Structure 1
C-alpha cells in the first residue's frame, strides 16, 4: 500500500484558547469545508473533542457521488493537539494530526495527513490523476477560510 503525506502550516492571530475552542468543535468542520463538497455532519455528541469521540458525516468528494465517512478522535490534549482517523470511508488509511503551538504573535497550527487509497495500482493512478489535487484544493480552501476567520480581524 502506497502511503501519501500532506502537511500544512498556518499562523493565526489569536490565542491558543480561542484557536482550540474553534478547532476542537466538530461543528466547525462545516465552516472550513468547501460548499461544493456537500459536507453534512450526521451524528456527534455535541461535545468538545475528546479521545474516543465518533463523528459521522456525508460528503461528495469526487464527481458529486455522496459517501459516508466515520471519524474517531484517537487522541487529544487540550490546547496542543488531536488526531482523527477514518474508521469507514473512501480511504484505505486516513490519519490526520492537528498541532497547535502558542507563539509570540499567536498560534502556529500544523496539519499532517497520511492517507492511502484502496485498489492498489488503480488507487495510485487515481491519486496522481485527481485525489491528491482534490485534497490540496480542500486544504487551500481551509487555509483561506481560516485566514478570513482569524487573520483578517482589525
Structure 2
C-alpha cells in the first residue's frame, strides 16, 4: 500500500483573518478549482466550517466522468489550520491538512495532502502519468488563482 504526499506552500500579502475567511469557506473551493473539473457543491457548505461537517461535491476530474466526492472536516483550529478527509470519492485515502501562519508582510499557506490511489498495483502504475500530474495541475491553478485574487510575496 503506497501512500503519496503532495506538499505546497504559498505566501500572500493579506491578513490572517482574510486568509482564514477565504480558505475556511467551502464555497470558495469552486473559485480555486479549474472550470473544466465541473466542481459543484451539492450540500454541506451552508454554514461556517466546523469539525464533523460533511460536504458533498460533484467533480469531473478525468475524461468527463462525473464523480461524487464526500469530505468531512475533521479538525479546525481557528486562524491556524483545518483538515478535510475524503469519506467517499476517487481516492482510497485523502487526508488534506491546511495550515496558515502569519509571516512578515502577510501569511504563508501550506497544504499537505496524504493520499492513496485506488486499484492497487494498477493505480500505482497510473500515478506518475495520470494522478500526480493532475494534482500538480490543480494545485498550480490554485496558486495562480490566489495570486490573481490576493497578490504574492516573493
> Per the shorter chain, which TM-score range?
over 0.9
Compute the TM-score of the two structures, normalised by the length of structure 2: 0.96
Moved more, 4-13 or 41-50: 41-50
Partners of 1:25 and 1:60 in 2: how far apart? Answer: 21
Output the CA distance in 1 between the equivalents of 2:98 and 2:45.
20
> Distance in 2 between the 1:19 and 1:129 partners?
33
Which stretches of structure 1, 4 residues or longer, exceed 4 Å deviation after superposition? none
Give the secondary structure class of the aligned counterpart of 1:95: strand
Give the unaligned 5+ runs of structure 2.
none
TM-score by length of 1: 0.96
Q: Which residue of 1 aligns with 2:75?
A: 75
Task: Report the secondary structure of 1:17's partner residue.
Answer: helix
Match of 1:115, SS state, is strand
| Ranges in structure 1 where 5+ consecutive residues have no aligned partner | none
3-state SS, counterpart of residue 100 of structure 1: strand
Q: CA RMSD in A?
A: 0.9
Kindly tell me the number of residue pairs found equivalent between the two proteins: 152
1:38 and 2:38 matched? yes
